[in-house]
Each structure stands twice: as structure tokens, then as C-alpha cells.
Amino acid sequence: MSEGGGGNGSSSSSWGWGWGAGGGAEEEEAEREKQKEKARVSRTSLILWHTHQNDASSVRKLLEEDPSLVNARDYDNRTPLHVASLHGWIDVAKCLLDYKADVNSQDRWRNTPLADAEGAKKHDMIELLQSNGGLSFGQNGSHFEPKPVAPPLPKKCDWEIDPSELDFSTSTIIGKGSFGEILKACWRGTPVAVKRILPSLSDDRLVTQDFRHEVNLLVKLRHPNIVQFLGAVTERKPLMLVTEYLRGGDLHQHLKEKGPLSPSTSINFALDIARGMAYLHNEPNVIIHRDLKPRNVLLVNSSADHLKVGDFGLSKLIKVQNSHDVYKMTGETGSYRYMAPEVFKHRKYDKKVDVFSFAMIVYEMLEGDPPFANYEPYEAAKYVSEGRRPLFRAKGYITELRELTEKCWAADMNQRPSFLEILKQLEKIKDNLASEQHPWNIFTP
């Protein structure tokens, strides 16, 4: 699903911290308000979900019950009409317009449904929206209009790279995506990784906004288990983001070649990932990765003795005011196979989505195969959302490591431990393993 196109709702776990002791009218009123808000958020999630699924009859049924849902909004301020327009769902759009949907509502990027339909080249949708008074603009213009790339930080002279310093004469492609490619190149005599945006997309406002967002995050990060940002090219095309090059490749490829890892290696790898994530989740400025998976965990060298977390294209920087805060963010963001159920179901979520993904990675390290490897990624995510979890099939496990993994993929995000708690548990497991004078305490399922 396109970024910004997801819905949101909430499970009862979103309000898991209680309302204090005692009874009385105030507590009863607070409980009623809580239930009303819960129901409202749930209905918002439903209409956005059914819109995304092109289910016009379910959308109409919801609107019959509550016409105000026609202009429900997700975290990115996108309405059901934005979602329908992007995908070209004509019947759903007609239903929404029948219920007086705001045809010119603007999302977080100040774009209208018509701007989305134009960008996706949904010609029938464009005609429908225009016939209903749809306009293709916002305060900043459509994101399909050329826009200059503003520097992410005022002191960009500290990290702006002259593209002539980048040597691509012996470059190799190490990754590809819909917006560009990642190449191994050379900068001032040092091997580097360069994320290069396709020239044809360098004027697309959403692409450049995501590019600036990732640069803005990476500039601030300094940690041994986070891929180090070196600089960026923002004044000339193509736009480029330069980071350190890690010779060991990614964890996905490593597991593909090596198969299941030993318990001791799995623990050491898990510790490196958890250290990087604990740093990102540090309050009050929490960075939620939202796409933690083996491909985004990199090995420093071929000896595979050190890991770093990378790729922050989908990350969100959140200022936490309350440790219990949950956020309305885009649903179905990231990779299905490692996706937390609350993200798949378009519910409110917080930094614990990364803990769930971490658990899936630990499982894969122990098993050697991805979770639900026999299913397509979307089907795997659907099974997870229904409460299913992958089965431990390998012959031997450290009981405590399996138990920790199961805590991390708990259905209730409030039951999942923080990365600081995970680190304490992993260190304890590692110490116990090292102190054993005889073979490990094996758990056989």
C-alpha cells in the first residue's frame, strides 16, 4: 500500500494503563469516553480498510450507520477518497461522493484526491473527480509538480558532498528499489554505499520529501550498531545519500548462505540489533524503524562479527510526551513477512512494532528460514494478524531464548518488552551459556 494510504484503529491494549483506583461518577464518565473513542477509532480503521480492499458494499454499510465516517482521516490526514483515488476504485469513490465526501480534502502533503489519481494515472478516476469539482492542488501544489530540494538541515555545508568527488568508475549495484538504486562507489579513496534517486523522480515532491526525511534522520544518528551517514548530494541531480559501505552484505543473504545459526551466534547478532534499536527508541525523541528485517541488518565484514541496522526510508521520528503514547501512523508500512499485526490491521501502534519484527528476525536466525517461508508475504502477515506464529522446528534451543522471542511477538504490544529489557535478558542468556561447563540446556519441542 502506498505510503500514507493506510488506515488506523486500535486494540484494547492501546489503553492498557488503567484509570486509577476507586469508583464514582468521574471514573464512569472517563470509562464511557474511553469506549466512545475506542469505537470511533475502530470505525475509522474499518472504513479505510474496506476502501483499500475495494469493498464498496461494506463501505456503504458503514456510511449508512455513521455518515460522518466519509471524511475519516488517518495519521497522514488521508481520507477514504484519497485511498480510493490512488487505487482507482471507482465504485467505492462513487459511494463516498454519494455521502458528500470532501472532494478537495488535503492530506499531510497538502494534496487532494485528484492529485493522487493523476499521479497513479487512473484516468476514469480523474474524470469522476473532476466532474465532481475535484482540483489538483494544495497549499504547496501537487506533489507531481517540480519542487526544489530544500536542505534538510541548516548546516548542510558540513555534509553536502560535491558529486564530482564520487567515483563510480568501478561501481557495482548492491540494491534496487522503485525510486532508485544503491551502489558501491568510492569517495575520497574510501568505499561507500550510495543511494541514488532516479533522475526522473528527482522533481517528485513525495520522493524528495522522503529523501530529505531520511537524510534528516541519519544526520542525527551516532551509534556503533547504526549504519553511519557520511553525506548527501542535494543541490544537483541525481539526489544521492552516502553512507559507510559494509563488506559483509546483509543478514538476509548471510542466512541464505549459512542456514540456521548456532545459539551463541544468534545471541551475539541479536545483541547487536537490540543495541542499535535501543538507541533509536531512546526517549523523548523516539525513532520507530518500521521496516526492521534481515535485508536492513548489515554485516560489517565477512567475519560476521558485528551487525548494524540500516535503511531508514520508512522511519518515523516521534517526540514522546508520555511513555504510554501510541500513534496513528500509516498502516501496512514495511515488509509483510516481518510486520506486526497491529500495523497490518491498520490499528494504532508504537515503537513495539520494531520489537515484533526483531522477534521474527531472531526466529529466522535460529531456524535458517524466514517465518512462514511456505507462504507469500501477504498471506504470512494475514496469518500473524489472526494470532498465528511460526513454529520452532529445529532440533535444539536454549529455552530462555525461545521464551524471549515469544514475548517479543506477543499479540498485545503492551506485553512486548522494550529493547532495553531485551538487552538485559540477552546478556543474562549469554552469561549463562558461557558459564556452562557441559552442553547447553536443550529444549526439544
Position 228, amino acid: Q
pLDDT at 185: 94
Give the pLDDT of residue 437: 38
Mean pLDDT of the chain: 81
- Sign, CA dihedral 157-163-167-170, equals positive
CA 316, distance to chain mean position in Å, is: 8
Residue 392: DSSP 8-state: P
Separation CA 4–CA 325 (nearest Å):
20
Domains of the chain: 16-131 (1.25.40.20), 156-244 (3.30.200.20), 251-443 (1.10.510.10)
Rounded to the nearest angstrom, the gap between the alpha carbon of residue 415 and the centroid of all alpha carbons in its chain is 20
Q: Nearest to residue 115, comparing CAs of 78, 161, 170?
A: 78
Backbone dihedral angles phi then psi of residue 151, each to the nearest 5 degrees: -60, 135
C-alpha distances (whole Å) from 160 to each of 2, 153, 199, 222, 308 are 30, 10, 18, 18, 24
Give the pLDDT of residue 396: 65
Contact status, residue 354 vs residue 329, Cβ threshold 8 Å: no
- Quote the pLDDT of residue 84: 93
Q: Higher model confidence: residue 116 or residue 132?
A: 132
Place of cell 476502501: 51
Q: Looking at the predicted structure, is the pLDDT value of residue 160 above 50?
A: yes
Closest CA to 160 of 242, 84, 261, 44: 242
Query: Residue 380: what pLDDT?
Result: 93
Span 334-362, pLDDT tens digits: 578 999 999 888 887 788 999 999 999 99
Confidence of residue 70 (pLDDT cuts 50, 70, 90): very high
pLDDT at 354: 94
Residues 6+ apart with CB under 8 A from 427: 271
Whole-number Å distance between alpha carbons of 265 and 268: 5
- Quick check: 5 pLDDT over 60? no
The pTM score is: 0.62
Q: What is the mean pLDDT of residues 290-306?
A: 87
Strand-pair partners of 195:
182, 241
Cell of 14: 492501546
Q: Is 27 a residue whose pLDDT tops 80? A: no
- Is 195 marked as a binding-site residue? yes
Cell numbers linked to 397: 534451543
| Residue numbers annotated as active site | 291
**Using CA of residue 159, residue 162, residue 164, residue 169, what is the dihedral sign?**
positive
Least confident window among 110-124, 214-228, 304-318: 304-318
Least confident of 117-126, 292-301, 390-399, 401-410: 390-399
306-335 pLDDT tens trace = 999 988 665 444 444 444 444 433 333 457
CB-hemisphere CA count at 13 Å for 430?
15
pLDDT in tens, 228-247: 999 999 888 888 999 999 98
**Poorest-confidence range of 210-219, 308-317, 406-415?**
308-317
* DSSP code of residue 439: S
pLDDT at position 395 over 80: no
In the predicted model, is pLDDT for residue 224 greater than 50?
A: yes
Summarised one tens digit per residue, pLDDT across range 188-208 is 999 999 988 888 777 777 777
What's the confidence (pLDDT) of residue 20? Answer: 37
Phi, psi for 153 (deg, rounded to 5) = -130, 150
* Amino acid 213: pLDDT: 78
| 30 pLDDT more than 90 | no
CA distance 78 to 332: 14
